Chains A and B, each alone.
Chain A
Amino acid sequence: MTGIRLPTLRRLGPGLLLAMGLALAAIAPASAAVGDPAAMLPDPAQEERAREIGRELRCMVCQNQSIEDSDADLARDLRHIVREQVAAGRSDAEIMDYLHARYGDFVLLRPPVKPETWPLWGMPAIALGLGLGMILAMRRRQRAAMPGGGAEATPELSAAERARLQALEDGGGR
């Protein structure tokens, strides 16, 4: 897909569009397989709980998807384990702990707050603080560069300057 330039695209026109549409239609059932009915729990409330837990767990293979969104083999196995444990009456925390013990912090899409992750969680505040500090520093510098302050301190035009300005304005109007 990378090398297609626009003129080529235009020349191919409707045919290409149709092909792309067909390709998309072919992909759709594959992604629907993530929610394979055979793998779901019969109880909709339990299934919903399993999904919520799964959405908090990272697929270790694709790494930027939750196990609910991923079609990787391992993600399917982990979805299965989550459902097994939900059906067995384990609590959300117990299920998360089970996977956390095996895959570490990385499996949690919402990392726990602890000394190692303080910089991570604190980053928004740190970035905001840095930005505010920079704005304040720039303001100070600007104010210092203009002794006596801003607009009010701008000296009035002298009589000669006013006359020259008048002459320029008159000249421009002609």
Chain B
Amino acid sequence: MSTVGDRGAAAPDTAPGAAPEAPSGAAPSRRRLLLLAPFAAAVAAGAGFYAMLRGLGSGSYDPKGVPSALIGQPAPDFTLPPLEGTDRPGLAATDLRGQGRPVLVNFFASWCVPCLIEHPQLTRLAREGVPIFGVAYKDKPADSLAFLQRHGTPYARLGVDQPGRVAIDWGLYGVPETYLIDRQGIIRWRWAGPLTEDTLSQELQPLLRRYA
């Protein structure tokens, strides 16, 4: 307070632009505004928090989610060997084009629990005729094989990426990750985490129709 007083001493006249105390008629509404402002802020914060929790629950909001740098870009070039013991051929970038419809590339591993969670959804999509190409990421071939024999193979083609180098070209940072590639071989969508029923109906199915 004393500094203010000193300043006042240095410049005894009030600053030219300084508005005098608000007229008495305006004072009560201003006080009401001051009381309401924190309340409104709390309501807004509550609504935002609720939306965030809803998003966390449904999977549409992921605080650790990172947008893919490859959206709108052609799929990277790669060739992966097939998994020994299956009848599925290996996977190369050229297989992604010329299918006449959008395709999915799904990175999975037998050691990955969310991969197990999304497996029924992949099976369903495969039954609906969506071409799904699998990449076994950093997995022992024997383990991948056991996983697929136990739960079924939804993949039309299956590549083995044991060193995980092709995955890095795709910008993968965990399994499972699923990419939608359109008919021209352009990456249109990436889903990091398990595909749920909600993801299918709200995100993937509309995109499959759009790029069909």
Binding site for B on A (CB under 8 A): 60-61, 63, 73-74, 77-78, 81, 100-106, 139-153
Interface residues of B in 17-33 (CB under 8 A from A): 17-21
How far apart sit A103 and B67, CA to CA, in the bound complex (Å)? 9
- Selected interface stretch from B86-94, B139-147, B163-171: B163-171
B15 at the interface (CB under 8 A from A): yes
Binding site for A on B (CB under 8 A): 2, 4-9, 11-15, 17-21, 64, 66-70, 138, 163-165, 168-171, 173-174
Question: Does A151 contact B6, Cβ atoms closer than 8 Å?
Answer: yes
Main secondary structure of the interface of A (DSSP, over half): helix
Q: Which residues of A contact B165 (CB under 8 A)?
A: 77
Question: Does B67 contact A102, Cβ atoms closer than 8 Å?
Answer: no
How far apart sit A105 and B67, CA to CA, in the bound complex (Å)? 9
Question: Does A150 contact B7, Cβ atoms closer than 8 Å?
Answer: yes
Question: Does A102 contact B169, Cβ atoms closer than 8 Å?
Answer: yes
Question: Does A63 contact B64, Cβ atoms closer than 8 Å?
Answer: yes
Given contacts A60-B66, A142-B4, A150-B8, contact A104 B171 (CB under 8 A): yes
Given contacts A102-B168, A102-B169, contact A151 B9 (CB under 8 A): yes
Given contacts A63-B64, A148-B12, A153-B12, contact A143 B18 (CB under 8 A): yes
Question: Does A144 contact B8, Cβ atoms closer than 8 Å?
Answer: no
Question: Does A149 contact B11, Cβ atoms closer than 8 Å?
Answer: yes
Question: Does A77 contact B6, Cβ atoms closer than 8 Å?
Answer: no
Q: Which residues of B contact A81 (CB under 8 A)?
A: 168
Given contacts A143-B18, A152-B12, A153-B12, contact A104 B7 (CB under 8 A): no
How far apart sit A43 and B51, CA to CA, in the bound complex (Å)? 53
By beta carbon, the residue of chain B nearest A145 is: B21
How close is A90's CB to chain B, nearest CB, in angstroms? Answer: 16
Number of A-B contacts (CB under 8 A): 87
Given contacts A61-B174, A142-B4, contact A104 B67 (CB under 8 A): yes
Given contacts A77-B164, A139-B4, 10 further A-B contacts (CB under 8 A): A60-B66, A61-B174, A73-B138, A102-B169, A102-B170, A104-B171, A144-B20, A146-B4, A149-B5, A149-B11
- 10 A-B pairs with CB atoms under 8 Å apart are A74-B164, A77-B164, A104-B69, A139-B4, A144-B14, A149-B11, A150-B6, A150-B7, A151-B2, A152-B12
How far apart sit A146 and B6, CA to CA, in the bound complex (Å)? 13
How far apart sit A106 and B9, CA to CA, in the bound complex (Å)? 54
By beta carbon, the residue of chain A nearest B171 is: A102
By beta carbon, the residue of chain A nearest B76 is: A102
Q: Which residues of A contact B7 (CB under 8 A)?
A: 139, 143, 150
How far apart sit A73 and B172, CA to CA, in the bound complex (Å)? 12
How far apart sit A101 and B4, CA to CA, in the bound complex (Å)? 56
How far apart sit A69 and B202, CA to CA, in the bound complex (Å)? 38
By beta carbon, the residue of chain B nearest A74 is: B173
Q: Which residues of B contact A106 (CB under 8 A)?
A: 66-67
How close is A82's CB to chain B, nearest CB, in angstroms? Answer: 12
